[in-house]
Structure 1
Amino acid sequence: MTILMLTAAITLSPPALYAQEAEDAAPAAQILPAITVAEVTARALTDRVFASGLVAAVEEVQVAPLIEGQPLEALLADVGDVVTEGQVLAVLSRSALELQRSEALASLAASEAAIAQAEAQLVEAEAAAAEAKRVDDRTQQLSEQGTAPKSQADTARANAIAAAAQVQVALQSLESMRAQLALSEARLENVDLQLSRTEVKAPVAGKITARNARLGAIATAAGLPMFVMIRDGALELRADVAEGDVLRLSSGQTALLRGAGIPVPLPGTVHLVEPTIDATTRLGRARITVADPEALRSGMFVEAEIIVAERESLSVPLTALESADDGAFVMRVKDGIVERAKVTTGIRDGAFVEVIDGLAAGDLVVSKAGTFVRDGDAINPVLATDALN
């Protein structure tokens, strides 16, 4: 047995042994590290800004009485009522104003009677003045002819002048009575206006959110308003926005609103981005109108997801992105060789980031930036199709 083994060993010459070893080592030298890569593809990306704030009325309207000093007799609306423009909300007492109206009517009648009397006096004065003038003219002619004494002519002239003066007095008296009539009419109109204002009406259509009026209270515009309304029931979210995001917002952008008790996100629209930043909090504010105000209540805390932009663009996984002093870059794989590629990024949407420049569709990049590969390394790329879906 020993002799046979020695013979076999002698049979294998040294060159044959070296070839066998090289053949066994060749497969080991070709084994490369398997690195997960992702393909650069186009996908729909959405740029979002997240904000939060309180719901408030787009326009709050305060309803106050237009007359003061009258007690409140009836309340015809309450908190939560939806009212139309011009609808009566409360009624004030009319008793004192009705008495004032009666007095105004009596004053008006007296003014009309005084005018009639002044007109009669004017007619009488004008007739007397005309007669005095005729007597004066005739007396003056007789005096010129020498048949009437000068004293008689002087008396006739004085009477004519006095009669003309009485006409002017009658005219002024008539004008005074007419002015008194206009004053009486104005007083009557004022009382009628106050009577019409005993009905407190809604200046706009909307929903009542507060009622401070109490039966029997004396109406006054000082202090709290009788009613507080939300015009047309319109609500808005006054969302606080980070300073760095304010300039990305503009009117017309859509939003999704979420909050406690809201089962489905509510659509909204940015209608105003306030032009100032709070100096203390360093926050801006966006006002977002609510499409369905009945689903919210004033004072609710709501979070908003504002859609800044939506587009289809090339993207890579966010984990593939690395940052350096000269900007962002990825490790691109071409023919199994890793190379550093500088990129310009855009929208960040979830696990993906938009690539504006630096890559082309179909390029492969190392999925995880923390993978220990360097520029020029040879790898075995493994496409992570599951990671992109």
Structure 2
Amino acid sequence: MKKIAAVLMVTTILSSALFGCAGAGKQTEVTVAAAKEGKDLSAMVWQGTVEALSSVDIIPVASGKVTNILAKEGDHVEAGAPLFQIDNQDASLQLEQAKAGRQAAQATYDSAQKANQLNTVVKPAQISFTTASDNFNRIKVLYESGDVSQADYEAAKAQMDVAQVQLQAAQNSQTTSCEVAKAQLESAVAALNIAQKRYDDCMVVSPIKGLVTKISVEAGQTVSPQIKAATVIDDSGKKVKIKVADMDIDQIKIGTEVEVNLQTLGENLKGSINDISAVSDSSTGMFLVTVSLGEESTNNAIGLMADIRLVGNKGENSVYIPAKSVQSDDSGEYVYRVSESSVVKTPVTLGKKKNAYIEVANGLSTGDLVVLQSSKPLTDGEKVSILTVKQQG
């Protein structure tokens, strides 16, 4: 009896399967996808570390022994404020020497300029040339009238030619003296600037306005350009860097407001997006986004972990479907939802788009099957046969 019952059961199952296949052949074939649950962007939380707007590690340019510490950790300083002094005795002597060299070069230049203005070198040569030229012109007239010999004529001309050469030489000498004096002065000024910088570099100052967070040297310690001596941060504002997935980045804009929660301090702050990287990280596919914190943030927040949420956090999930499943007509957007082997034309209210998917604010629930493709145009209530259920990534 058991064997007969088993045979009857298998026969019944096979008959049902054959009947179903025959019926399916008359139905429209469709490919569907299930509406999936996805975190709404406003419900997402990103984490990052609170940082100062900028942090500067101060490395001295000069080498030498620290003679005095002029600032301490926790001090607020202005840009250019002294932090510590390096022994400047040698630099001071070099500076005085450079000042003396500059004064000497200035005096030489001034003398050359005055001589140029007074024609001190050129004037005697000019007088000699004028005298020789006048004498030649007089002799030339007498020579042409036959009153002087050719020898006298040639001697007068030779004397004028020599005076002309001497005048040109005097002019060149005077010009060269001015140029040399000018070059010497410029060299002395450059040497003075170098000496002044070496002297100034012995006083290590803060390059920015901010908070001194670290002084790493002590009086008596020898420092060099290889030593990080202090750190100053710009504490005029705070920022948090977060990493956002590529499917969410198009929903974030510069200026988007965010809520910042500091769990350690039990504080909630306001912030906004102020920078978004142009490209994603090649290894993670994530975009680096910088959040600027509001003015109420305090210095003790630096270094703490922060939870970042978009303002208006709904704290709930949304339903997403493939964007290509959505159709539209005069009544608006709709999808064909599969229910008990039939399709139901279902109006939908759409929300944010995430790459190939789109949020459905109203009209569908998680798990609903929507038609992606069909073998022919569909009508409301039409019987369908599901060929494939596409899995969403």
The alignment's TM-score, normalised by the length of structure 2, stands at 0.60
Q: CA deviation at 1:99?
A: 0.9
The aligned residue for residue 205 of structure 1 is 209
Letter in 2 for 1:123: K
Identify the range of structure 1 (142-151 vs 50-59) with the bigger mean alpha-carbon deviation.
50-59
- Where does the alignment leave 5 or more consecutive residues of structure 1 unmatched? 1-44, 312-316, 330-338, 348-353, 360-364, 370-389
Rounded Cα–Cα distance in structure 2 between residues aligned with 1:209 and 1:64: 14
Alpha carbons 1:277, 1:283 under 8 Å: kept: yes
CA distance in 2, matches of 1:229, 1:284: 28
Answer with 1 or 2: which has the greater Rg: 1
The residue type equivalent to 2:155 in the other structure is T
How far off its partner does 1:218 sit? 6.8
Distance 1:219 1:87 in 2: 20
Q: 1:141 to 1:340 in 2, by over 3 A?
A: closer
> Could you tell me how far 1:272 is from its partner in structure 2?
1.4
Contact 1:72–1:219, Cα closer than 8 Å, also in 2: no
Retained in 1: the 8 A contact 2:320–2:360? no
In structure 2, relative to structure 1, the CA distance for the partners of 1:346 and 1:146 (3 Å cut) is closer
Q: Equivalent of 1:55, from 50, 68, 91? A: 50
Distance 1:193 1:298, change over 3 A: farther
* Cα deviation 1:327-346 (Å, max 9, x = unaligned): 899xxxxxxxxx99876575
Q: TM-score scaled by structure 1?
A: 0.60
Quick one: distance in 2 between partners of 1:233 and 1:48? 30
1:287 lines up with 2:282 in the alignment:
no
Supply the AA of the counterpart residue of 2:181.
L
| CA deviations over 1:135-193 (Å, ceiling 9, x no partner) | 11111112112222211211211221221222221222222221223223323433454
1:281 to partner: Cα distance: 3.3
The amino acid across from 1:275 in the alignment is A
**In 1, Cα distance between equivalents of 2:64 and 2:320:** 76
Alignment-derived partner of residue 268 in structure 1: 271
Q: Which residue of 2 aligns with 1:83?
A: 77
For residue 243 of structure 2, the aligned residue among 240, 243, 267 is 240
Structure 1 residues 213 and 192: CA distance shift in structure 2, 3 A:
farther
- How many pairs were matched up? 293
Matches within 5 A, 1:143-292: 143-194=143-194, 197=197, 198=200, 202-211=206-215, 220=225, 223=226, 228-231=231-234, 233-292=236-295
Whether 1:135 and 2:139 are equivalent positions in the alignment is no
Q: Secondary structure at the match of 2:102?
A: helix
Are the aligned partners of 1:50 and 1:241 in contact in 2 as well (CA < 8 Å)?
no
Q: 1:155 to 1:322 in 2, by over 3 A?
A: closer
AA aligned opposite 2:262: G
AA matched with 2:135: V
- Is structure 2 residue 125 aligned with structure 1 residue 125? yes
Say if 1:91 and 1:200, in contact at 8 Å, map to a contact too.
Answer: yes
Tell me the distance in 2 between the aligned counterparts of 1:110 and 1:208.
48
Distance 2:82 2:267 in 1: 37
**Structure 2 counterpart of 1:98:** 96
**Change over 3 Å in CA distance of 1:242–1:116 after alignment to 2:** closer
Structure 2 SS opposite 1:234? strand
Deviation track 1:207-246 (CA, whole Å, cap 9, x = no partner) reads 34455677675765xx456654434633210112344332
Which consecutive residues of structure 2, in runs of 5 or more, have no partner in the other structure? 1-39, 326-334, 338-343, 353-358, 368-393
Displacement of 1:271 in angstroms is 0.7
- Quick one: percent identity of the two aligned structures? 18
1:112 aligns with 2:97: no
Q: In structure 2, the residue corresponding to 1:58 is in which secondary structure?
A: strand
How far, CA to CA, are the matches of 2:213 and 2:162 in structure 1? 74
Report the alpha carbon displacement of residue 59 of structure 1 after superposing the two structures with TM. Answer: 3.6
Q: Distance in 2 between matches of 1:206 and 1:246?
A: 33
